[in-house]
Amino acid sequence: MRHQPLLLVAVSMILSGCVSQPASSDAGWFKGNTHAHTLWSDGDGAPELVADWYVEHDYDFLVLSDHNILSAGERWFTIDETGRLHPDHVAALQERFGTDAVVIREDNGRRQMRLVTLEELRGRFEQPNEFLFIQGEEITDSYERTPVHINGLNLAEVINPDGGSSVSDVMNRNVQAVYDQGQRLDRPTLAHINHPNYGWAFTWQDVASIRHDRFFEVYNGHSAVHNAGDHEHDSMERVWDRAIVLRLTELDLGLLYGLATDDGHNSHEMRVGRANPGRGWIMVRSHELSADGLLGALHAGDFYASSGVVINDVNSGHHHYSVDIAAQAGVGYTTRFYGTRMVVDEPGPVGELLHETTDNPAVYELQGDELYVRATVTSTTLHPNPHAAGDLEMAWCQPVLGEAAEH
Ligand SMILES: [Zn+2]
Ligand SMILES: [Zn+2]
């Protein structure tokens, strides 16, 4: 489904001359989740059940990203009263999709269900301009006992975790494997760092050091990932600011973009503490619902992350950053612009709150000394099924370079 045709917005952006990305009149917003698990690895939902949830909830694209496996080949899963595939779940699948669509066999006295492949899911659920799967994998690696998880998007072949000599090295070897596969097979790919605070695995310097791509999860819906940090560890937003400054001033690696994802594992019990679908997603501004279009827009930074706030338009450039919120009646929105300014040739306070407003559109005029600016929008609405109790619905808009980054 297309969201929010942007003809007028595109015209006004062209006239205003401060367009961060070339927007054309037929670009629209597409909603998607790039991180989800099924019975192919450690999720508890059959692949068709997980896919069905996203289709029914008006998503436009989905990446099933199971651990170190693609949803391909023949795989049988044992049906067990005490396991992840309960007989009641199978009965529900038969009820939803028809008895013929659920393939059962007996194997040495055990009842088993064949897992539906991505190829089959495409046949059942994909519709041009309506719903698209992008093949993916959570490359699940570790350094010593520290989890290092990287999502690879639009893969054609599985990538085996490659190890390495540090968290940063393990990460970068896997990110490079995603990049190399894209180069070798001449297809766009994308890698993102998953849940940096899971197991307190990544320092902000580790996150900053990602090469060959520039994405991390600023929000992950799994309840064990510590998006907000703790008294000893930075929040994901703080990591974001610190990482960007290091990348711009020392590493020469450019901006870092933030995604929101579900990391869903639990399809049968919807509550806080379970890893459910629908918590965090991205909205990507693309000309078409295709892997090429979506990944191209993501690499251009033309997207935002959300846990509930909907945005009509983000218009950002060297001089001006504005966020036009699709406000709901009776809901308040606070937009905060964060950035880091150069002060006498040195970076000033990292991730400074440059401007805060409840106006809509929310506008920040850059002063010329900013390395970068990014924006968040926080609503007064509680997230209906949050990663952590008390979370408010938010949106995270991508950073843009300021003039100070050019010098
Ligand atoms: Zn993970
Ligand atoms: Zn995961």
Q: Which long-range contacts (CB under 8 A, 24 or more apart) does 228-235 make?
A: 228/388, 229/197, 233/197, 233/200, 234/204
pLDDT digits (tens, 9 = 90+) for 44-90: 999 999 999 999 999 999 999 999 999 999 999 999 999 999 999 99
Q: What is the CA radius of gyration of the chain?
A: 21
Q: Higher pLDDT residue, 398 or 21? A: 398
Question: 342: CA distance to ligand 1 center in Å?
Answer: 36
Reduced 3-state DSSP string for the chain: CCECCCHHHHHHHHHHCCCCCCCCCCCEEEEEECCECCCCCCCCCCHHHHHHHHHHCCCCEECCCCECCCCCCCCEEECCCCCCCCHHHHHHHHHHHCHHHCCEEEECCEEEEECCCHHHHHHHHCECCCEEECCEEEEEEEECCEEEEEEEECCCCCCCCCCCCCHHHHHHHHHHHHHHHHHHHCCCCEEEECCCCHHHCCCHHHHHCCCCCCEEEEEECCCCCCCCCCCCCCCHHHHHHHHHHHHHHHHCCCCCEEEEECCECCCCCCCCCCCCCCCCEEEEEECCCCHHHHHHHHHCCCEEEECCCCEEEEEECCCEEEEEECCCCCCCEEEEEEEEEEECCEECCCCEEEEEECCCCEEEECCCCEEEEEEEEEEEEECCCCCCCCCEEEEEEEEEECHHHHC
Question: 336: CA distance to ligand 2 center in Å?
Answer: 29
Which residues, in sequence order, are CB contacts of 394 under 8 Å at separation 6+? 219, 306, 307, 308, 309, 376, 377, 378, 379
Q: What is the mean pLDDT of residues 20-32?
A: 73
Question: 141: CA distance to ligand 1 center in Å?
Answer: 9
Least confident range from 1-15, 115-129, 157-171, 389-403: namely: 1-15
Q: What is the mean pLDDT of residues 268-280?
A: 95
Question: 296: CA distance to ligand 2 center in Å?
Answer: 23
Buried b (16+ CB within 10 A) or exposed e, 88-124: ebbeebeeebeeeebeeeeeeeeebbebbbbebbeee
Q: Nearest ligand, CA of residue 137? A: 2
Residue type, 128: P
Which residues, in sequence order, are CB contacts of 149 under 8 Å at separation 6+? 138, 139, 140, 141, 193, 194, 195, 198
Q: What is the mean pLDDT of residues 118-124?
A: 98
End-to-end CA distance of the chain: 42
Question: 222: CA distance to ligand 2 center in Å?
Answer: 8
pLDDT exceeds cutoff 50 at 105 = yes
Question: 194: CA distance to ligand 1 center in Å?
Answer: 6
Question: 124: CA distance to ligand 1 center in Å?
Answer: 27
pLDDT of residue 407: 64
CB 282 within 8 A of CB 294: no
CB 39 within 8 A of CB 66: no
Q: Nearest ligand, CA of residue 149? A: 1
Question: 152: CA distance to ligand 2 center in Å?
Answer: 11
pLDDT digits (tens, 9 = 90+) for 30-39: 999 999 999 9
pLDDT of residue 331: 98
pLDDT digits (tens, 9 = 90+) for 347-400: 999 999 999 999 999 999 999 999 999 999 999 999 999 999 999 999 999 999
pLDDT exceeds cutoff 50 at 11 = no
Q: Nearest ligand, CA of residue 40? A: 2
Which residues, in sequence order, are CB contacts of 145 under 8 Å at separation 6+? none
Question: 148: CA distance to ligand 2 center in Å?
Answer: 11
pLDDT exceeds cutoff 50 at 180 = yes
pLDDT confidence of 2, banded at 50, 70, 90?
very low
Tokens of residue 119, six digits: 């190829």
Tokens of residue 293, six digits: 């279009």
pLDDT digits (tens, 9 = 90+) for 191-207: 999 999 999 999 999 99
What whole-number percentage of the chain has pLDDT above 90?
Answer: 91
Q: Which of 173, 168, 172, 174 is nearest to 155 (CA)?
A: 174
pLDDT of residue 14: 37
pLDDT exceeds cutoff 90 at 4 = no
pLDDT exceeds cutoff 90 at 183 = yes
Question: 149: CA distance to ligand 1 center in Å?
Answer: 5
pLDDT exceeds cutoff 90 at 237 = yes
Question: 178: CA distance to ligand 1 center in Å?
Answer: 16
Question: 184: CA distance to ligand 2 center in Å?
Answer: 26
Q: Nearest ligand, CA of residue 198? A: 1
